[in-house]
Structure formats: structure tokens, C-alpha cells
Amino acid sequence: DIVMTQSPSSLAVSAGETVTINCKSSQSLLSSGNQKNYLAWYQQKPGQSPKLLIYLASTRESGVPDRFIGSGSGTDFTLTISSVQAEDLADYYCQQHYSYWTFGGGTKLELK
């Protein structure tokens, strides 16, 4: 099974800051067939279901603000949130969708 490791596990930020969440997979998520990286990011606010933010490593889901940016390739990926807003405080999970599915352990984004 592919293991997904996220860091940090929690992050305290002030509104307006830029934050970076890292995700590392135990094997490459890059498809040799189409050169796409099979990684998604989800946001989960307290008491809510997860929400898809980004898929194929860098494609934003419809309606997701452009301050959410996914990047990376192979085994190392990043979710960057520029100019964090109060509504962005949530748990964030990466997920590989290369071989079935595995989630990272999550990153809790909190107010400083």
C-alpha cells in the first residue's frame, strides 16, 4: 500500500499569511502514461464532510478560490494557501489516487 505522510500535523497562522502544507508518498504518483500526478487535496471544516479542493496534483475543483495552489510531482507535493482567511481554518488532507486510495494524516490549520 502507498503510505502518505503529511507535515506539519498542525499549523498556527495569522490572517493574511501564506502557508504551505507538505505531503510525501512512499512511491511515485506520476503516471507514465499521461504524465499526471494522481494526488488530491481535501479541506474539512469542523463538523463538516471533506471537500475536494485539488485533484491531479494541481487542478483546482470548480469554485475553489485561486489562493489554493497545488504543486509537486513524483513523491513530493505541496498545498499552498496564499493570504489565509478565517474561513480557511480547517483540517487538510492529501490523498493518493494512483493505486486505490490512501489519505495523509492531516494538517490542522489554526489561528495564531
Residues that bind other proteins (CB under 8 A): 1, 38, 40, 42, 49-52, 55-56, 61, 93, 95, 97, 100-106
The closest alpha carbon to 84, from 22, 23, 11, 24, belongs to: 11
N- to C-terminal Cα distance for the chain? Answer: 36
* Residue 78 vs 102, nearer CB to other proteins: 102
* Residue 14 vs 49, nearer CB to other proteins: 49
**Residue 20 C-beta: closest distance to other proteins, Å:** 20
**Residue 16 C-beta: closest distance to other proteins, Å:** 28
- Whose grid coordinates read 509537486? 72
Q: For residue 33, which amino acid is it?
A: G
